[in-house]
Amino acid sequence: MEKLQKNIDYKFNNIDLLKQSLTHRSVGKQNNERLEFLGDSVLGLIISRELYQRFPLIDEGQLSHLRSHLVRGQTLAKLAKAIQLSEELILGQGELKSGGFRRESILADAFEAVLGAIFLDSDYSTVNRVILNLYKELLDEANPETSLKDFKTQLQEILQKRGSDLPQYDLIKTSGKDHDAIFSVRCSLNNENIQVEKSAKSIKRAEQACAEALLVMVSKL
């Protein structure tokens, strides 16, 4: 876990807190769900305060939308990958066999849990520093005007300008129990012969993840 601590620029006093934050519920009762709950709240507060200070002229609705853009699951999973968090995840056998260390929802939850663990291990000032360091590039690039348009809207606008067909979204699979279902969606651009598949805890999130991936691909055409 030394590598992860180096990547987040924080050394734990109580290494057991870090270990718990990386332990998925598939392992047992001593897992990271409570730390995830705490980390979610801490992250929301710190990002909200930072946006409030950075953008004094935008209203509450714009601030809320911009925050959602920064703390959504896809963003958290990307940050988790950037710090190579997947290498330290502690998963049950079932999740290991199914490649759970690559699943965005698991990575996002563990990322929040690590932040909750840092808060308990130190103080608000310290976790504030860690979060703002991890988010530096995203915050510097944050644009209220762009973030107000979700990925599906952005993709649709680009395709319309090009005179291309609109994307087609299809639910292709639902897995897991009802209270913890994972939805897999395929998005196709037929005239470009491109398609992507993404999974999330809701159909809407999966569609947005597909649109985000297609935005990157379309921009390179």
Q: Nearest CA to 119 among 7, 14, 4, 23?
A: 14
36 is annotated as an active-site residue: no
H/E stretch holding 77 reads helix 73-82
Q: Point out the catalytic residue in the list 36, 50, 109, 112.
A: 112
| CB 47 within 8 Å of CB 115 | no
Q: In this structure, what token pair is assigned to residue 171?
A: 């639910």
112 is annotated as an active-site residue: yes
Measured CA distances, 95 to 78, 79, 85, 202 (Å): 20, 21, 16, 20
Strand partners, 187: 169, 196
Q: Which amino acid is at 156?
A: Q
Q: In this structure, what token pair is assigned to residue 156?
A: 């649709």
Q: In this structure, what token pair is assigned to residue 200?
A: 């999330």
| CB 211 within 8 Å of CB 158 | no
Measured CA distances, 221 to 16, 150, 218 (Å): 48, 21, 5
Active site residues: 40, 112
